[in-house]
């Protein structure tokens, strides 16, 4: 009489065991680390976006850029007293730009303002409105494109 507590030693059982191990290994390999953008909003901006932006601006020839990440009122008084998170950049010659996040969510509406020679911004523009999924690379790219559009990075 065979021992019922012993593992099944039939050829079929032997063939199934390695297949189960392989599928478990594949499942373990498919697990990806969380994306940077899945971090809490304030951590992502502080730890990833600001250092990345500073590095890209330095590569573009603007090494001395002051970047702040603050929650404050909108920079244009006529828009109200609502506070929201903003990345404020000050670069050479008194130029200032602001990226405004309407919510603590990268996918939410974003806006852009800029001012030259220390003046206050007078208009606010939509920023990244066509992007369905915002990630670090796109946020950096669009920011640099917008600054270049002002002719602040390269004199056209």
List pLDDT tens digits, range 118-152.
788 878 899 998 888 899 999 999 999 999 888 88
In this predicted model, which residue has the larger pLDDT, 96 or 35?
96
pLDDT band at 156 (very low <50, low <70, confident <90, very high): very low
In this predicted model, which residue has the larger pLDDT, 24 or 111?
111
**Of all helices (H) and strands (E), which one includes residue 89?**
strand 83-91
51-104 residue pLDDT tens = 999 999 999 888 888 999 999 988 776 666 788 999 999 988 789 999 999 999
Query: Can you read off the two tokens belonging to residue 131?
Result: 């992007």
| pTM, full prediction | 0.74
What are the CA-CA distances from residue 89 to residues 18, 64, 70, 113, 126 (Å)? Answer: 57, 10, 11, 10, 17
Residue 112 bridge partners (DSSP): 99, 125
* Residue whose C-alpha is closest to residue 114's, from 76, 71, 58, 140: 76
Query: Vertex 134, ends 132 and 139: CA angle to 5°?
Result: 135
């Amino acid at each position: 009489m065979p021992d019922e507590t012993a593992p099944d030693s039939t050829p079929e059982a032997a063939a199934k065991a390695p297949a189960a191990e392989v599928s478990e290994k594949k499942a373990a390999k498919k697990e990806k680390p969380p994306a940077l953008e899945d971090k809490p909003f304030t951590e992502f901006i502080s730890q990833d976006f600001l250092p990345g932006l500073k590095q890209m601006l330095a590569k573009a020839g603007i090494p001395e850029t002051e970047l702040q990440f603050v929650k404050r009122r909108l920079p244009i008084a006529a828009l109200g007293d609502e506070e929201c998170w903003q990345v404020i950049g000050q670069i050479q010659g008194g130029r200032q730009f602001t990226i405004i996040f309407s919510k603590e969510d990268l996918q939410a509406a974003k806006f852009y303002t800029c001012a030259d020679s220390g003046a206050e911004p007078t208009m606010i523009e939509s920023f990244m409105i066509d992007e369905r999924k915002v990630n670090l690379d796109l946020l950096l790219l669009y920011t640099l494109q917008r600054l270049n559009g002002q002719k602040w990075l390269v004199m056209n």
